[in-house]
Amino acid sequence: KPAKQRQRVPVVPQGIERDAFIAALEELGGQLGKENVEVNDKPLVDGWYMEHPNTHDMMTILDEEEFVASAVVYPSTTEEVQSIVQWANKHKIPIFPISMGRNLGYGGAAPRVRGSVVIDLGRRMNRILDINPEDYTCLVEPGVSYYGLYEAIKERGYDHLWIDVPDLGGGSVIGNAVDRGVGYTPYGDHWACHSGLEVVLPTGEVIRTGMGALPGNNTWQTFPYGFGPFSDGIFSQSNYGIVTKMGMTLMPNPGGYEGFMYTFPKEEDLAPLIDIIRPLRISMILENVAQLRHVTQSVAARGIPRSKFYSGSGPIPMDIVHKAAAEQPVGDHSWGYYGMCYGPEHIRKHKLAIIDAEFKKIPGARKIDPKSLPEDEYYFARERVAAGIPDIHELRWVNWTPNGAHIAFSPVSPIRGTDATALNDLGRRIHDKYGIDFFPAFIVGLREMHLIVEIVFDRDDPERKKAALDCLRDLVEEAAKLGYGEYRTHLVLMDQVAGTYNWNDSALMKFNEKLKDALDPNGILAPGRCGIWPKRYRNRGWEM
């Protein structure tokens, strides 16, 4: 997609004059080096995943100029992050930290408040500070990607250490964890697997959490809690601090692994299947965070545009999807479960036998023989990911529409057939209403599932963008009425989603706001992120 002429430059944060802003940036340039302060006055280039912009959301659902940075700055040390924060307080300029800015589907690199100064931490703070082969831990800066960490481990010959990766390997280990992202080995809950943070507070002080607060410790990455209040959690999905270092536990090489895939023929197989999965998952017979995907997305996962199958309006008819699936190597189905079994062969065989017997209780269930699949089949991407090997195959379904972009609806439910059906029916009904193809995938955590519904849209088609956004807003609202809430969301939906967590007259949000006001009196850090507005912004029309 070609870069458009800018309509609304220069971008200046609200409440400051243009000249004063330029002068403030020059002041900051004097501290960080001119080359590390970039004004965002050039055309907005979307690029692609590996060369993504840090000025805006490359998959924007609103006007591109809406969530846009006024400038981007590149600190190289924690001290420089502190001076940026002090500078922001001095001039009352909103700042928005990103680690790598690949938060696609949830806002990419964009700030929530137009004209914020984006702090691109990852560009220069990208060191792996430690990989500890005895404790199975590491300590990283924001710019360390899954690819980077994986390669460093291989280079050092640490075959006994695995990492856990989300579907795309280009993300930041820190950025993903602070947004509470997930991967697909048994270590899939990234936030649960971290240990130790270094955080620059909104007033510029720097703290180390957990054992990091004890000088000379050697336990920062092995014991998450430390002594006293365990404060890490409030730095995830928030705007209370800038994470400059994070410890992460590494998974031991399980001594063998074996991916597997089962398909299930009917839409209605969903409920009984989920009820079969639940006890197996909780008791770790099903060991990894697995995906149960609908056939429509599996067809799309080959990267072939929708137009090759269907050119009519409205959602693609299911008979066409099934016909396309039947012609693909996996064969026709409604649901596909991609799992992995770990450990040496003599242990795996017992678990696989149980799984096989249980899954085959669904009439027509088929175990797919990976040997029957071509090398570039999507199945193998899932297998790599479940073995902690970074990948980007997952990007392919974004080609489903021209100028493909996507945005996610991500509600949480127990692992129960009734819930899966309720959410799936709701999703299908509302997608139909807006004429949008429905891509449900259940990501099975330990006691809950994230249903991830990706809406793929043509980002050059304002009408389809509007339909996608209306559909999402509807989904969030209707799901909340049934008691389902999102685990994470896009910038544009943060106020709405936060608003659904409103028990007892929004007591939790009032509590969040109290913390925000105490920690960030000038309201400079990522205003509006996760629906938390600082006092200076609250009820002044920023919510959307």
Ligand X SMILES: Cc1cc2nc3c(=O)[nH]c(=O)nc-3n(C[C@H](O)[C@H](O)[C@H](O)COP(=O)(O)OP(=O)(O)OC[C@H]3O[C@@H](n4cnc5c(N)ncnc54)[C@H](O)[C@@H]3O)c2cc1C
Q: Quote the CA–CA distance of 519 and 524 in Å, as a whole number.
A: 10
Q: Which does 55 bind (CB under 5 to 8 A by kind): a second copy, ligand X, none?
A: none
Residue (208 or 459) nearer to a second copy, CB: 208
- Report yes or no: 101 and 47 within 8 Å, Cβ to Cβ: no
Residue 132 phi, psi (nearest 5): -105, 105
Question: Closer CB to a second copy, residue 145 or residue 209?
Answer: 209
Q: Which of 286, 304, 291 is nearest to 382 (CA)?
A: 291
**Shortest Å distance, C-beta 492 to a second copy:** 15
Nearer to ligand X, 254 or 390 (CB): 390
Residue 240 contacts which entry, ligand X, a second copy, none (Cβ below 5-8 A, type-dependent): a second copy
Residues 417-476, interacting with a second copy (CB under 8 A): 419, 445, 447-448
User: Per CB under 8 A, does 347 bind a second copy?
Assistant: yes
- Does the annotation mark 106 as catalytic? yes
Q: Which does 414 bind (CB under 5 to 8 A by kind): a second copy, ligand X, none?
A: a second copy
Binding segment for a second copy (CB under 8 A), chosen from 20-28, 50-58, 248-256, 388-396, is: 248-256
Q: Residue 103 or 222: which CB sits closer to ligand X?
A: 103
89 makes contact, choosing from a second copy, ligand X, none, with CB < 5 to 8 Å by partner type, with none
* E strand residue ranges, 363-403: 366-368
Under rule CB under 8 A, residue 99 binds a second copy: no
Binds a second copy by CB under 8 A, chosen from 238, 244, 297, 328: 238
Long-range contacts of 82-86 (CB under 8 A, 24+ apart): 82/200, 82/204, 82/205, 82/206, 83/28, 83/31, 83/32, 83/204, 84/28, 84/32, 84/117, 84/119, 85/200, 85/201, 85/202, 85/203, 85/204, 85/242, 85/524, 85/525, 86/204
- Per CB under 8 A, 252 contacts a second copy: yes
Interface with a second copy (CB under 8 A), residue from 37, 415, 443, 472:
415
Q: Which of 10, 95, 100 is nearest to 53 (CA)?
A: 100
Binding of residue 291 to a second copy (CB under 8 A): no
Contact call for residue 217 and a second copy (CB under 8 A): yes
Tell me the chain's radius of gyration from C-alpha atoms: 23
| Minimum CB distance to a second copy smaller for 343 or for 370 | 343
Q: Please, which of residues 486-525 interact with a second copy by CB under 8 A?
A: 486-489, 497-498, 500-504, 507-512, 514-515, 517-519
Which two tokens mark 326?
Answer: 């039947």
- Provide the token pair at 403: 């100028």
Query: Which residues contact ligand X (rule: CB under 6 A)?
Result: 97-105, 107, 121, 142, 166-168, 171-172, 174-176, 178-179, 181-182, 242-243, 394-395, 526, 529
Residue 121 binding: pick among a second copy, ligand X, none (C-beta 5-8 Å cut-off by kind): ligand X
Q: Residue 117 belongs to what H/E stretch?
A: strand 117-120
168 or 211, CB closer to a second copy? Answer: 211
Residue nearer to a second copy on the CB measure, 36 or 249: 249
- Look at strands 117-120 and 71-73 and give their pairing: parallel
Is 123 or 278 the residue whose CB approaches ligand X more closely? 123
Nearest in space to 246 (alpha carbons), one of 50, 108, 99: 99
487 is catalytic: yes
Residue 416 burial (10 A CB sphere; 0-12, 13-18, 19+): middle
20 binds a second copy (CB under 8 A): no
CB of 216 to a second copy, least distance (A): 4
Of residues 106, 262, 342, 484, which has the active-site annotation?
A: 106
Count of residues interacting with a second copy (CB under 8 A): 93
Burial class (CB in 10 A: 0-12, 13-18, 19+), 540: exposed
- CA nearest 392: which of 171, 240, 110? 171
> Could you tell me the two tokens for 386?
């479940």
Contact (CB, 8 A) for 147 and 98: no
- Is there a catalytic annotation at residue 187? no
The CB-of-388 to ligand X minimum distance in angstroms stands at 13
Vertex 303: Cα angle to 302 and 306 (nearest 5): 105
The catalytic position among 114, 464, 488, 529 is 488
**Site for a second copy (CB under 8 A): which residue of 50, 282, 326, 353?**
282
Residues forming the active site: 106, 487-488
